[in-house]
């Protein structure tokens, strides 16, 4: 019947609409399209540990030197790092890549940092880079920074990374747990 057919037709149009709109919303979903949990390990150069150190203070405000983090919550220190990335929290595990870039201590009355760095991954599982940027209120248990781009396996990806301080030994070693959540995958 014409009438019945028309109903089918309307039904099909609606289903089409529904399927597409869900696909459409699905693109920018709030559930990550890809996840990774990685650790990186930072050993700060203190004038005596040249062989082991993976980072160095390279800038400081007037009156501070470069072998010890500045007073006033290290305000003004910039450190450059090349830290091993591991799959678990063991510094001696086989690295799957390097975390490279800088952190900048940027508050006078508490510990916070501005981070600009890349994960350069080079393992059987992942080949490519992930670019991070953001404010790090170090003393908070969890803090989120932005993932603003990527290359290789992470071509054009965007997302958010949740950072936790997994260990902290004096002012020489710290280890960060990075939970990477991509919300735009290509």
Q: Which of residues 161-180 bind its own copies (CB under 8 A)?
A: none
**Matching residue, tokens 């975390």:** 99
CB nearer its own copies, residue 9 or residue 89: 9
Q: Which of 122, 177, 114, 120 is nearest to 150 (CA)?
A: 120
Distance CA 36, CA 101 (A): 20
94 binds its own copies (CB under 8 A): no
- How many beta carbons lie within 10 A of that of residue 169, not counting itself? 9
User: Tokens for 65?
Assistant: 């030197």
Binding residue (CB under 8 A) for its own copies from 39, 40, 81, 174:
81
CB nearer its own copies, residue 8 or residue 168: 8
**Touching its own copies, residues 11-30 (CB under 8 A):** 12-13, 15-17, 19-21, 23-24, 27-28, 30
Q: Are 140 and 131 in contact (CB under 8 A)?
A: no
Site string for its own copies, 50-79 (x = CB under 8 A): ------xxxxxxx--xxx-------xxxx-
Q: Are 185 and 160 in contact (CB under 8 A)?
A: no
CB nearer its own copies, residue 87 or residue 133: 133
């Amino acid at each position: 019947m014409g009438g019945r057919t028309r109903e089918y037709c309307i039904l099909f149009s609606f289903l089409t609409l529904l399927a597409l709109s869900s696909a459409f919303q699905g693109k920018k979903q709030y559930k990550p399209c890809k996840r990774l949990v990685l650790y990186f390990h930072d050993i700060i150069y203190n004038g005596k540990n040249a062989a082991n150190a993976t980072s160095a203070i390279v800038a400081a405000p007037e009156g501070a030197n470069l072998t010890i983090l500045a007073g006033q919550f290290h305000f003004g220190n910039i450190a450059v790092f090349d830290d091993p990335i591991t799959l678990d929290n063991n510094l001696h595990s086989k690295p799957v890549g390097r975390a490279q870039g800088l952190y900048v201590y940027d508050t006078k009355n508490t510990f916070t940092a501005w981070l600009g760095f890349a994960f350069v991954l080079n393992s059987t599982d992942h080949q490519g880079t992930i670019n991070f940027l953001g404010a790090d209120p170090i003393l908070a248990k969890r803090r989120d920074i932005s993932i603003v781009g990527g290359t290789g396996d992470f071509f054009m990806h965007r997302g958010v990374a949740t950072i936790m301080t997994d260990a902290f030994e004096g002012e020489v070693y710290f280890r960060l747990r990075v939970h990477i959540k991509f919300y735009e995958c290509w």
